[in-house]
Amino acid sequence: MNTKRTLIGALVVLMALGLSSFKQEDDRNFQIAKNLDIFNAIFKELDLFYVDTLNPEKVIQNGVNGMLALTDPYTEYYPEEEVSSLKEMITGKYGGIGAAIRYYKKKDRIAVIEPIEGMPAAEAGVKAGDIILSVGGKDMVRGDLKPQEFSEKVSEALRGEPGTSFILKVLRPLKNDSTVMEFKITRKNIRNNPVPYYGMVHDSIGYLALSGFTDNCAKDVKKAFIELKDKGAKALILDLRDNGGGSLQEAVDIVNFFIPKGKEIVVTKGKIRQAAGSFKTANEPIDTGMPLAVLVNGNTASASEILSGSMQDLDRAVIIGTRTYGKGLVQTTRQLPYNGTLKVTTSKYYIPSGRCIQAIDYAKKNADGSVARIPDSLTHVFYTAAGREVRDGGGIRPDIEVKGDKFPNILFYLLNDDLIFDYATQYCLTHPALVSVDSLQITDEDYADFKKLVKDANFTYDRQSEQMLKTLKEVAEFEGYMEGAAEEFKALEQKLNHNLDRDLDYFSGPIKEQIAEEVATRYFFERGAAMQRLKDDADLKKAIEVLTSPAEYRKILSVPEAKTESDAHTASQK
């Protein structure tokens, strides 16, 4: 009898829970339908009665943007005319001339900043520094467009079906003048090179930079890796700095070069069943024993964190640099009416230790719409295959942290005012072609020429120390302390007096490095810039140091001595 009553009671509870669930779902469906009706009605009333005629596309687009603002920055709507940019981001391919461009405010025009090696623009003779005047006979003038809109307009004009030709008219700066030049260019399929540079950086250490995880980039990495092995590489440095990610599958395929077949690398978990998945290595690896170092920084994100994080979790590589961005979210695309596309976050990914490295919880926004990173105090400990402690909630923490040099304030403004860009153009006109990147050196004489260019341009910039001192004075006056501190403030103002010569000399090191990188790009394209950056690279030096010390390498990837073997075994099971 008691058993029967128990079963009846349990059945009643289950029915109640079921009815409650149905009621909640019905309420949710009602709220959705109700608010869609309200939105539709408001638009109709505005369109009918508002004093001015509204642009329906702009009004609805603003409504869509407001809705998406409640999600995360990676959930985006692409109308039909912008879908091509989404496809380019995913595939790394487009039809065009193969040249990076941007707004050049001194001429109020668009300038070519970097032709891609071997692509139509470079093959035709277009150079960095050329100012675009017309494309196919159409003048490229800004009018009332914003600089970004102007850049997009010119970019759209340069792109087109592969095989189509047009005349590009540019203004080319010369030593003391400039001249108009015309080039006949035939568009072709352009694919951004995901491996801008690879080569030997030590007697037996190979280096490979990966700039993005576009379609089929794993094949490029495989080709470069095998070539480095053929050249005698016994260890490898994989550079993922400033790599914002891309295809999750490509990341898994690259991990597979170093990890045995059948290992689970990523698990995705979302709200619906279709968002859940498991990604395992599917092929036989190339090399499971070669010592590896992976370079990362604050702009290493998403698929780059899958690669670096899984290599850390599996104790397969030493991670060097600064903490990564912390993007543990996965996006998929959904087709919408009228050929639009929604890129929507559908799940989070979890790497082999079980941790998710997402640094920001977008579901917990502040009242003003801002969000904050998960504090370290709220993160959780996980364990690598060997039992080393790693944490979730804030990107990948390197095994060896290398603090980079701070970016001088003056350098930001020099770049923003195109002065380094202009000097590189001038440099290439007055210096013979370089034989190699190794022979590039910005001499004191070159730097004196640069300083003259800066002064002739009447260059000014905001100094943070000056701004902070001004703020401090205002606070001191407000709180009544100024009278007693007037002399001290006066002395400090004299010490912080704006002196352009002093600042250019004091920060000559990083400024020269930036000039050299820009010049290297002019002579040797993207690979030249990469090679120049490696000349004095603290992360690279540390990686070489670790990879040339087998004992140190093994020590980093092993469980700390404080842990016993049983502790490590227990930890690895958690």
Q: Which residues are catalytic?
A: 302, 313, 327
Rounded Cα distance between 107 and 316, Å, is: 51
Helix ranges restricted to H, 214-322: 217-230, 248-255, 303-313
Instruction: Report which residue type is found at 365.
Output: K
Rounded Cα distance between 327 and 303, Å, is: 9
DSSP 336: -
Rounded Cα distance between 393 and 510, Å, is: 33
Rounded Cα distance between 348 and 361, Å, is: 11
Please compute Rg for the chain using Cα positions.
29
Rounded Cα distance between 152 and 246, Å, is: 22
Strand order in the sheet with 318-321: 197-202, 205-209, 235-239, 292-296, 318-321, 400-401
Torsion on CA atoms 6, 10, 15, 16, rounded to nearest 10: 100
* 303 Cβ neighbours under 8 A, 6+ residues apart: 213, 243, 245, 246, 247, 248, 250, 251
User: In degrees rounded to 5, what are phi and psi of residue 93?
Assistant: -120, 150
Residue 89, classed as helix, strand or coil, is helix
Of 240, 224, 294, the residue nearest 547 (C-alpha): 294
At 207, which helix (H) or strand (E)?
A: strand 205-209
Torsion on CA atoms 414, 417, 423, 425, rounded to nearest 10: 140
Phi/psi zone of residue 90: left (φ > 0), alpha (ψ -120 to 50 degrees), beta? alpha
Instruction: Report which residue type is found at 113.
Output: I
